[in-house]
Amino acid sequence: MTIHIGAKPGEIADTVLMPGDPYRAKWAAEAFLKDPICVNQVRGMLGFSGTWKGNRVTIHGSGMGMPSLSIYANELIRDYGAKTLIRIGSAGAMLKEVQIRDLVIAMTSSSISTPSLGFFREMNFAPCADYGLLENAVVAARERGTRVHVGGIHSSDVFYDERPDLTEMLARHGVLAVEMEAAELYTVAARHGARALAILTISDHLVTHEALSSEDREQSFGDMVEIALSAAFA
């Protein structure tokens, strides 16, 4: 048990999928895992462990934003021995060629700041995904016929952004999408020698202003969970 995770020793699997919403963690565990059990309810951040095709898996919420994810990623790796962490979440597209419902697999993630900024001081550390996980996810997505884009994303500190100049500059440099967690996940994983990947479904578009309905988001989220599981155990 840690400050934020009430699981007992051995209840967290080596492979952890991390949606932001704890209720999505509950839904995904019940939909995809065999015999899931709830291993964490501290502060309402739900975590469940079960098996997928005979492989032990934990699906644990991360909360919204890099500070929240940093807490759970650190404790999952450091205190429970998690070795593979895959963020499964939504993102906003920043390029016209990236469409609603497309999948973005983040090779790298840029940010203005992260909770780990104090570690590096003047150094601009470049957090990146684990290549093996990334390659497996691309193969799994293409086998399912899912439109997939691989490249850099932006992990933002704010949800209600008022920097259109920054959005334009990032798009000019080929940044595919924006979300709020991946940069810190990649940094924490690198620090502790774990594998990490962010697989994101485009739920809204900063250019066209399209957005998925709640029903469409659930279907797209299911596809993403299956791709994440396939990537982890390929």
Among 108, 10, 51, 90, smallest CA distance to 233 is for 51
Whole-model pTM? Answer: 0.95
In a domain, 84, yes or no: yes
Q: Does residue 3 form part of some domain?
A: no
Catalytic site residue from 79, 161, 204, 216: 204
Name the residue range of residue 228's domain: 15-232
Q: pLDDT (tens digit, 9 = 90+) per residue, 68-113? A: 999 999 999 999 999 999 999 999 999 999 999 999 999 999 999 9
Q: Are strands 47-52 and 34-40 parallel, antiparallel or unpaired?
A: antiparallel
Domain with residue 105: its CATH number is: 3.40.50.1580
Q: Give a yes or no: residue 105 inside a domain.
A: yes
Does the annotation list 154 as a binding residue?
no
Q: Is 180 flagged in the annotation as binding?
A: yes
Q: Binding site annotation covers 220? A: no
Residue 76 in contact with residue 32, Cβ under 8 Å? no
Q: Which H or E element spans position 84? A: strand 84-93
Q: What is the domain count for the chain?
A: 1
Say if residue 164's pLDDT is above 80.
yes
Alpha-carbon gap, residue 46 to 165, rounded angstroms:
37
Residue 200 is assigned to a structural domain of this protein? yes
Residue 204 is among the residues annotated as catalytic for this protein: yes
Contact 202, 108 (CB under 8 A): no
**Is residue 86 a part of any domain in this protein?**
yes
User: Is residue 156 a part of any domain in this protein?
Assistant: yes
How high does pLDDT run on average in the chain?
Answer: 95
Q: Residue 4 domain-assigned?
A: no
Terminal CA-CA length for the chain: 30
